[in-house]
Homo-oligomer: A and B are copies of this chain.
């Protein structure tokens, strides 16, 4: 009988702590030359992110380890979460630039280019992408698993149905009326792909086989879309102070969001339906999936 790891707040807190400790170790110190870029990288990486992707990677790893007879989180899993968080942060830094979304505030703090200037912000984003691969290439598992994780993560952040592709679709779609097809394509690529690959690579690090990885991918596809729909709903319904970023911005710029296309009520129903379908995918893993489910449920029920 496998018990749940612990309650969801403890899981989230442990995830943040382990990820932050790994990032602290992996990011060059601000005393290291050239100091300006290391300061900028740390400014954005330690801006108070919730580390959702690392937590999902950890819970997927915990589950796969458990069904394979292991117990606890595999050693070194936090380096995977840290690498993914570097990629997430690089995309935010570049997305916030004046030429893109032109955002001054992120999680209540000045964005990277506001604090360090555009040139350093561009290079800090570049360097975080690079550092993610420096990190992944050194992870504590076989070369076969490292190459597989690198391939999947690079694909998930690329132009074809990956993170950058989603950013381009999002840019191109601004100021035109969003369609259902468009919003689905953007969500799947811009945010969905990295969430999905966090879950899949967490499993692979813990020893997932091809069948496990395919099932994790399916879970991640449904759950990731549900999380993004909830994000969209919160942007419409919460005020800026509660969110820590400029609320209502998506509506103001005609951004392709789920509620903009389907309305709030349908969006809520869709998020709940997707999470139920995602949980059904986890059925074969039985009780071992408890923590992963608890985290996913928390993410669709959160209010900020």
Contacts and interface: CB of A to CB of B under 8 A. Distances in A.
Interface stretch (A150-158, A218-226, A279-287): A150-158
A144 to B, nearest CB: 5
Q: How large is the interface on A (under 10, 10 to 19, 20 to 34, 35 or more residues)?
A: 35 or more
Contact of A150 (B41, B137, B162): B137
A10 to B, nearest CB: 34
A118 B142 CA distance: 40
B164 A126 contact: yes
A134 interface: yes
Q: Is chain A's binding surface mostly helix, strand, loop or mixed?
A: helix
Contacts of A147: 137, 143, 146-147, 150
Given A127-B158, A159-B34, A151 B167 contact: no
Interface stretch (A93-101, A208-216, A233-241, A293-301): A93-101
Given A158-B131, A159-B28, A126 B94 contact: yes
B94 A168 contact: no
Given A94-B122, A131-B158, A34 B165 contact: yes
Contacts of A172: 34, 36
A37 interface: yes
A158 B130 contact: yes
Nearest to A117: B99
B37 A159 contact: yes
A258 to B, nearest CB: 20
Contacts of A89: none
Given A127-B159, A129-B126, A160-B28, A169 B100 contact: no
A34 B28 CA distance: 35
A240 to B, nearest CB: 25
A118 B99 contact: yes
A202 interface: no
The 8 A-B pairs with the shortest beta carbon distances in the complex, nearest first, are A99-B118, A137-B151, A143-B143, A34-B168, A133-B154, A134-B154, A143-B144, A143-B147
16 contacts: A33-B165, A34-B172, A36-B168, A36-B172, A37-B165, A94-B123, A94-B126, A97-B122, A100-B119, A119-B171, A130-B154, A130-B159, A130-B162, A131-B159, A134-B158, A146-B147
